[in-house]
Amino acid sequence: MQYPITRRRLSTIILGAFVWGFLRPARLFADAPATQPAVNGLALWMSGQKDAAVDAFIACDWSNGAFVAADPVMNLSELEFLAKSRDSYTVKRELEDKADALVEYIDAVIARGESLGTAGKADDSRKAYSSVKQCGLWLVSRPDRIHLLFLIGQQTIKSGDGGLFKEQQTKPS
């Protein structure tokens, strides 16, 4: 069963992130490596290059660093975000816009996986779902990042697992 990220679910995640983020102790981890990816898929997505962004997402090596490494807002620590958002509403708004775009982007990759599975391209479909799961694992593995991204990551893992399970069920014996 897949768990698509809807706008309502995203609103709940954002609300929970702000409430929980203000109440929990912040964690600082300065030893996280900062590596640059070859392509910033989120920037491609937001600029309207949807197909190229989905292809880049599926081809991404999630083990070598952030897919959105060049993005200053998406790479703020939770403490940095809280400090900047107290001074400027635009930082909060920019994060909400980018989180919304990230959710739409992930949903497009899931849709690509579904269409590939329907077309009988099971290996390509599994690769798309695996990339979704790897993205989610990468998002939750960053304990110093904004909690909203962690919550999106948790939902993304479920979506990727759901797609992989569905592909396994439809696999011919």
pTM of the model: 0.71
Per DSSP, the residues of the chain read: ------HHHHHHHHHHHHHHHHHSPP---TT------S--HHHHHHTT-HHHHHHHHHH--GGGS-TTTT-TTTT-BHHHHHHHHHH-HHHHHHHHHHHHHHHHHHHHHHHHHHHHHHTT-HHHHHHHHHHHHHHHHHHHT-TTB-HHHHHHHHHHHHHHHHHHHHHHHHS--
104 and 57 in contact (C-beta within 8 Å)? Answer: no
The domain segmentation of the chain, as residue ranges, is 37-170
What is the residue-level pLDDT of the chain in tens, covering all 173 positions? 555 666 666 555 554 554 444 434 333 333 334 444 446 788 888 899 999 999 988 988 877 655 666 677 777 788 888 888 777 778 888 888 888 998 999 999 999 999 998 888 988 989 998 999 888 888 888 777 788 888 888 888 888 888 787 777 766 54
Rounded Cα gap, residues 167 and 170, in angstroms:
5
Rounded Cα gap, residues 118 and 121, in angstroms:
7
- Written as six digits, the tokens of 38 are 């070859």
